[in-house]
Structure formats: structure tokens, C-alpha cells
Amino acid sequence: MTSPAARSSATGSSASQRADAQRGRILDAARRCFIAHGFHAAAVSEIAAEAGISQGLMYRYFDNKRAMILALIEHQLREGQDSISQGPPSLDMVDGLLACYRQWAQGQTIAGHDTAIANVTLYAEITAEAQRDPMVASVLRRHDQLTSDNVRDWLRQHDQARGRDIDEAALCQRTLLLRIVVEGLAMRAIRDPDLSADTLRAVLRQTIARVLGEDG
């Protein structure tokens, strides 16, 4: 027979799971609205309608739109760090980045990505918002450092697996190079969506060889 304490604990756990699911539903709706309209143009009423709930109910989970923006940024960047820590989804980083470029150029969201830039439009919105909102800037800087740490750890493991001597200064430079390449590639997809795949592949091969320490 289940004790009252156990039943209370199960009920509390179930309620917490429902609340987490509702928050996730709202954030998914907010993400779609922010991608379509931008942070400031997207109205709370539109987000509530997209989530299929009342505006009043939504305020039970988020105090205001700014709270949703901050929660969404945290969620997006945390997902990026988790996937980086598992290593690139493809053994061929060049092919992986080319696939990302094609999806960014088509305005698609990248599933199973190895970077915080899941959707380039949302990434641009987050970056722009950091220029206006000190709290967003602080969150972005904190996660940016964590992301760089994860990339550097992955590159360190890559070198150790190949029996290389570890050069921490070089690891920092290679980490920065990869961050610049990925973020620059996302912006290039917006400005030059018809860039030749052969041209891009040739450039990426040289750059990724350097990132992986295989250009010597």
C-alpha cells in the first residue's frame, strides 16, 4: 500500500513535470515567434496564441517577455554546449559545416547541431539584443566562455588520442579560430546564400586542418 508521503511526492513530481512541459511549450512558441518577428516585434499575445494557451496562464510561468527571452537564450546556449561536449556529430567537420551552411542559407534550424547557432536568425537576434541589454550580454558572455572551454577540451582530447604533446596556447588559438569560422559562416550564409560549395569546401578544408592541428 502506498504511503501518504509517497503519494504526495509522486503528485509533486508529476506537477513539476507538467510545469516543465508547459514552460518548454511556451519557449518553443516564443522561439518561433522571435525567429519570425524578432524579439521586440513579437507580442506576448502572439506567443500565447502560438503556444495555444491564454496570456494569463502564460504569466504563471514567465513574468514578462524579457524573462522569456533570457530563458530562451539560456536554453539555446545550453543545448549548444551539451552537443559540443559530445564532439562533432560528423567525423568530417568540413562536410558537417557545409551542411550547416546550406541549412542556414535556407533559413532552417539545425537539429543535432554542434554549436549554439541552431538558427542563424535567432543567433543574430541574441547577438543584437546583447548590445542593448546588459543582462543578456552577461548571459551571453558567460555561456560564450563555457562554449570555448568545451571546444578547447574537445580539441585537447583530439590531440591526446593522437599522442600529441599538449600546447595550451595553441589550443586557445585553434579554439578561437573554430569559433570565428562557425560564427562567420553563419553570417555569410545570410549575406551570400549562393556561395559555391566547391569554393567553400576548399577554404574549410584548409581552415579545419589548422583547427585540428593537421596542417603541419
> pLDDT tens digit string along 46-102?
999 999 999 999 999 999 988 998 888 887 776 655 555 444 444 488 988 898 888
Please state, in angstroms and rounded to a whole number, the distance separating the CA atoms of residues 136 and 130: 5
Amino acid type, 7: R
What average pLDDT score do residues 94-118 get?
Answer: 73
Q: Is the pTM of this model over 0.85?
A: no
State the pLDDT at residue 177.
96
What average pLDDT score do residues 179-206 get?
Answer: 92
Nearest to 213 by CA among 151, 153, 167: 167
Nearest to 42 by CA among 27, 22, 54, 57: 27
Q: What is the pLDDT of residues 1-47, one digit of tens each?
A: 556 555 555 555 777 888 889 999 999 999 899 988 988 899 999 99
Please state, in angstroms and rounded to a whole number, the distance separating the CA atoms of residues 148 and 108: 24
In the numeric block, the cell 537576434 is attached to 125
What is the length of the chain? Answer: 216
Spell out the long-range contacts of 135-142 with Cβ–Cβ below 8 A and sequence spacing 24 or more: 135/70, 136/69, 136/70, 136/73, 139/70, 139/73, 139/74, 139/77, 140/73, 140/77
Q: For residue 190, give Cα distances in angstroms to 50, 93, 95, 187, 199.
A: 26, 21, 19, 5, 17
Count CB neighbours of 32 within 10 A. Answer: 18
Please state, in angstroms and rounded to a whole number, the distance separating the CA atoms of residues 53 and 150: 37
Please state, in angstroms and rounded to a whole number, the distance separating the CA atoms of residues 99 and 110: 9
